[in-house]
Every structure is written in C-alpha cells, then in structure tokens.
C-alpha cells in the first residue's frame, strides 16, 4: 500500500512548522548535538506536551519535529509496517503540521521514524532514523534509583548489566532477552536500543545513517553517530545470537529478515511474512514469490490482483 503525498499540501494554519515552536526545536537540537557528541549517553531534555498521550511516541515525534525541514521526505513505521494505526496517525500529523512529503519507500526517505523495528533495507549516509523509546535506562529494572544509575553510567560501572544477563542464563539456560537487548556504544556507554528485536541489533553497528532516540515521558534523548561501534552484551561462552526463522517469507520468499506471524483463520492456520511491509512489497514488485502468495488475503498483500 503506497501512499505518496506531494509537497504541494501546505501545513495547517495556526501551527508552526512541524508543530513545535522554534525555541523548543533549538533546545531539542542542542540536546541532540550533545547526544551525538557523547554516543549512547542519555541527555535530559525539557519534553513538551504533545497532542498524543505518553506511550504513543511523543519522544520520537519531538525529535523528528526538531530536525524536519521543508525538503525532507518522511517515512513512519510501527512494527515494520507503514499502515498500522500509530504509523498512520504520526504520518498524518506531520503532513498536517509540516506539509512535508511522506513515503513508504525506505530508499526515498530522508527521515525514518520507527517504533520497534529497523528497516531491512540498509540505510545510507544522509538518512536519519528516529527511534521511539519507552524506558531509556537499561539498568532500571535492577537499580530503581536514578541517582544511582547516573553514577553507574558516569563511572562506567556496568557489572550490574552482566548480572542481569547472568540471571537470565541461570534461570532459562540462555539469555532470555529478545528485544531491547542492551548494547555497548563506542566502547563506553551501555544503552537500551529501544524495544526493537535483538534481531535488529547488528544493523546498528557501523550504520551509515544517523540514529536518534527520543523518550518523551522519561525526557531523554540519546544518539549514535554514523559508523559507530555498537556491540551487544554477552558472555564468552554464551555469545550474542540473533533469531533465525525456519522458513522464508510466505509472500516474497525473503530469507534473513524478521518475520511476523499472521493468524489466518480460527483453525490454527498461520503464515510468516516480512515484518517490514515496504521491503516485502519491493521484492514482490521485482518478481519474488513466496509459497503462500496465491492464498494470501488481499488485505495482506495490498494488491487487488495477484500476478
């Protein structure tokens, strides 16, 4: 389902470009610059009230609003898809308040705002990916005191993080964290990569694009500049491993990508399809066919005709 909106739509009257006032944008950009200068470090910022509740991406929206220019092309995804409720409403929000071109094609976008996934398409220099983050502090569950976690980061005292992984292995026989898997950035700060599946962690390593992270409720911004080392934490004898899927995508036959499980009927019928909807569509346009493409409901493929 591709939607192109031309740049001719003008932003709704009464709002500043991209909703936030210019002073707020400056404040946020200062925080972003600081975050880029100290990769992985959580920079506090004065998070504004946004016209959506906490937990719906206010942090990501504020970061995007602060960096958006008239010539930018914006893609918004949620769980890899451009057409879920959250993605649609945020995209519409920026169409109305900034009038920028939006797209579903990763290659065309200059800014990608995401919740819970990194696109399969490799991002390039000049692109910015903005992650929505609920809890920015990776140590929060083991150390509830903010005063203490700040000290731990300042002094690089990260033994506790490995205690968490140790506990996982002791309890489950393996590291049980499958999303929001902690990473070490540029050999210094330990960071929560937001609730993306650990499958996506390797994409963050030496990524050519700029990665920005915004947490609205917790009022923190952090960043990974392009080509930065990002290493997932592990033990020597329990190395970091990403999830593997037994079968390729049922629609486009892609392998090595993150798949979503789709329930087809109430008799246990199900199929596994690319979580990244744009990526899947591109492959199908190029002629790749998955084993269940013929049987897939139209709503899933977005086509009224099957080739």
Whose Cβ is closer to another protein: residue 15's or residue 235's?
235
Whose Cβ is closer to another protein: residue 169's or residue 264's?
169
Which residue among 80, 99, 249, 290 is the active-site one? 249
Which residue among 40, 59, 216, 290 is the active-site one? 40
Whether 80 is catalytic is no
H helix or E strand, kind and range, residue 242: none
Which residue among 60, 80, 214, 274 is the active-site one? 274
Instruction: Spell out the residues 6+ positions from residue 58 whose beta carbon is closer than 8 angstroms to its own.
Output: 47, 50, 52, 214, 216, 217
Determine how many CB atoms are found less than 10 A away from the CB of residue 226. Answer: 17
Task: Compute the least distance from the CB of residue 39 to another protein, in Å.
Answer: 20
Collapsing DSSP to helix, strand or coil, 191 comes out as strand
Task: Compute the least distance from the CB of residue 160 to another protein, in Å.
Answer: 7
Please give the structure tokens belonging to residue 19: 């909703």
Determine how many CB atoms are found less than 10 A away from the CB of residue 269. Answer: 11
Task: Compute the least distance from the CB of residue 218 to another protein, in Å.
Answer: 22
Whether 252 is catalytic is yes
Please give the structure tokens belonging to residue 261: 């499980």
Distance CA 173, CA 166 (A): 10
Collapsing DSSP to helix, strand or coil, 223 comes out as strand
Whose Cβ is closer to another protein: residue 13's or residue 170's?
170
For binding to another protein (CB under 8 A), which residues are involved?
142, 151, 155, 157-160, 162-163, 166-167, 169-171, 235-238
Task: Compute the least distance from the CB of residue 152 to another protein, in Å.
Answer: 10
Whose Cβ is closer to another protein: residue 124's or residue 150's?
150
- CA nearest 81: which of 73, 72, 93, 90? 90
Task: Compute the least distance from the CB of residue 148 to another protein, in Å.
Answer: 11
Which residue among 80, 252, 256, 268 is the active-site one? 252
Which residue among 59, 214, 280, 290 is the active-site one? 280
Distance CA 137, CA 149 (A): 8
Distance CA 254, CA 279 (A): 9
Distance CA 110, CA 5 (A): 15
Task: Compute the least distance from the CB of residue 191 to another protein, in Å.
Answer: 18
Distance CA 199, CA 88 (A): 25
Instruction: Locate all alpha helices (DSSP H) within 58-208, ordered by sequence.
Output: 58-67, 85-98, 146-154, 159-172, 201-204
Whose Cβ is closer to another protein: residue 155's or residue 307's?
155
Whether 249 is catalytic is yes
Whose Cβ is closer to another protein: residue 184's or residue 281's?
184
CA atoms within 13 A on the CB side of 210: 16
Name the residues annotated as catalytic.
40, 249, 252, 274, 280
């Amino acid at each position: 389902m591709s939607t192109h909106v031309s740049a001719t739509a003008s932003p709704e009257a009464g709002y500043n470009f991209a909703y936030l006032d210019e002073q707020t944008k400056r404040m946020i950009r200062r925080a972003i610059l600081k975050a880029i200068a100290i990769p992985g470090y959580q920079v506090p910022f004065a998070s504004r009230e946004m016209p959506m509740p906490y937990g719906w991406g206010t942090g990501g929206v504020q970061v995007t609003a602060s960096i958006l220019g008239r010539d930018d092309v914006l893609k918004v995804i949620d769980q890899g898809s451009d057409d879920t409720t959250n993605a649609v409403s945020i995209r519409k929000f920026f169409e109305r308040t900034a009038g920028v071109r939006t797209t579903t094609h990763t290659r065309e976008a200059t800014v990608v705002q995401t919740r819970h996934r990194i696109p399969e398409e490799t991002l390039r220099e000049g692109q910015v990916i903005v992650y929505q983050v609920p809890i920015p502090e990776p140590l929060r569950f083991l150390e509830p005191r903010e005063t203490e976690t700040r000290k731990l980061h300042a002094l690089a005292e990260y033994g506790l993080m490995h205690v968490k992984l140790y506990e996982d292995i002791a309890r489950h026989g393996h590291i049980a964290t499958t999303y929001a898997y902690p990473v070490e950035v540029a050999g210094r700060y330990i960071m929560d990569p937001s609730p993306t599946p650990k499958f996506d962690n390797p994409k963050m390593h030496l990524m050519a694009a700029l990665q920005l992270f915004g947490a609205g409720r917790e009022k923190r911004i952090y960043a990974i500049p392009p080509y930065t080392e990002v290493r997932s934490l592990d033990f020597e004898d329990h190395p970091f491993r990403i999830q593997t899927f037994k079968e390729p995508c049922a629609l486009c036959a892609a392998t090595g990508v993150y798949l979503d499980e789709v329930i087809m009927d109430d008799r246990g019928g199900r199929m596994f399809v690319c979580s990244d909807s744009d990526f899947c569509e591109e492959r199908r346009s190029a002629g790749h066919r998955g084993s269940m493409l013929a049987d897939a409901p139209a709503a899933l493929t977005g086509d009224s005709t099957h080739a």
